[in-house]
Amino acid sequence: MIFIDACFGKETPYTPVWFMRQAGRYLSEYRETRKQAGDFLSLCKNPKLASEVTLQPIDILGVDAAILFSDILVVPMEMGMELGFFTGEGPKFTQTIQSDKDLKQLRQDSHLSLNYVYDTITMTRQKLAKDKALIGFCGAPWTLATYMIEGQGSKTYNQTKKILYSNAQFLHNLLELITHNLKNYLESQIKAGVNAVMIFDSWAAALEESAYLEFGFEYCKQIASFIKQKYPEIPVILFPKGISGYLDKIDGEFDVFGVDWSTPLKIAKEKLGDKYVLQGNLEPCRIYDEKSMLEGAKDILDLMQGKRHIFNLGHGMLPDLPRENAIKLVDFIHQYRF
């Protein structure tokens, strides 16, 4: 698999490419399958339909890897938190985690209730071409903790940060519990058939450097080490979004560093390019305009020269991006010669 070879820094005939959130509302096929499922959570819990959606970008765009269709929030949900997805508002938990009593009620073994995810993986791996990789994923402990404490997405993360600065031990206890759940969850995904795993720390930039290293990145590293020690053949990708100010502090046992669009790729290459394969980092909004998109892609490819690089966006596809351009982008990357 070209994608897996690239994750380990091996030479490949072309730069492999996939897009974060490549399955989603910008595809009419996705909207149709979601309608069939009823709603977003029912789609996640229906292995046959979730597998269909996972495969759509492979057929439509021709990307080199599929990413499991699910959501990072199924883990807190199966730890015992009631979750709803509301149109226009996004995900919301009915209760939030505020006290030791709340913490005690959370399950340690949520991975035993996520069979719908593993069934989606097995079904998808059976249908996926042998040269295409299947990526499994989870949210990072810090990013999940923000949803569990705030109850929903947040602009300021003030409740989570209030706890961080006034009751650090409580936050560490929660992060440890989430980390424990995620290790077992990713291991179960690997046993079900994923070829690589990715940890999304989407809200890393909410924290100052010292706080992120202690409450965020440390737990990503623990999960990565756990996976690498047991499954050295499975690449681990970390995506801590928005931490370009202290890339020199990044270390740990993982294979690929996901570069977000706000980080100049040149700087990521200088600071991390020898230690990790880099994945990224086209600004997704460039896809609105073909010329801007191809210019941005060319700059990235010319900088990386087809070495130790996986092409991706610097964050997820947006619901109104034109699919025709996304198809052209994949072609452009596959045709590019250095």
**Binding flag, residue 134, ligand 1CP (CB under 6 A):** no
| One of 9, 84, 153, 322 touching ligand 1CP (CB under 6 A) | 153
Q: Which is nearer to ligand 1CP, 110 or 273 (CB)?
A: 110
**Interface size with ligand 1CP, residues (CB under 6 A):** 21
Considering the complex, what minimum distance in angstroms separates the CB of residue 182 from ligand 1CP? 13
CA distance 226 to 190: 13
Among 21, 92, 323, 328, binds ligand 1CP (CB under 6 A): 21
Q: For residues 14 and 40, which CB has a smaller minimum distance to ligand 1CP in the complex?
A: 40
Taking CB under 6 A as the rule, does residue 93 contact ligand 1CP?
no
3-state class of 312 per DSSP? strand
What is the rounded CA–CA span in Å between residue 239 and residue 214? 16
Closest distance to ligand 1CP from the beta carbon of 72 (Å): 4
* Residue 152 φ/ψ region, left for φ over 0, alpha for ψ in the -120 to 50 degree band, beta for the rest: beta
**Nearest-angstrom CA–CA distance, 36 and 80:** 27
- Nearest distance from residue 337's CB to ligand 1CP, in Å? 28
CB of 25 vs ligand 1CP, minimal distance in Å: 5
Contact 207, 145 (CB under 8 A): no
> Which residue in 23, 128, 148, 171 binds ligand 1CP (CB under 6 A)?
23
Q: At its nearest, how many Å lie between ligand 1CP and the CB of residue 91?
A: 5
Q: What's the rounded Cα separation, in Å, for the pair 103 and 97?
A: 6
24 forms part of the interface with ligand 1CP (CB under 6 A): yes
Q: Is 72 in the site for ligand 1CP (CB under 6 A)?
A: yes
Cα separation of 71 and 85, whole Å?
11
Check the annotation: does 206 bind a ligand: no
SS3 string of 94-158? CCCCCCHHHHHCCCCCHHHHCHHHHHHHHHHHHHCCCCCEEEEEEECHHHHHHHHHHCECCCCCH
User: What are the residue numbers of the active site?
Assistant: 21, 25, 34, 71, 147
- Which of residues 1 and 77 has its CB atom nearest to ligand 1CP in the complex? 77
Contacts of 238 (CB under 8 A, 6+ apart): 198, 199, 201, 220, 224, 252, 254, 256, 257, 258
Query: 71, 119, 253, 290: which one contacts ligand 1CP (CB under 6 A)?
Result: 71
Known binding-site positions for substrate: 21-25, 71, 147, 202, 315
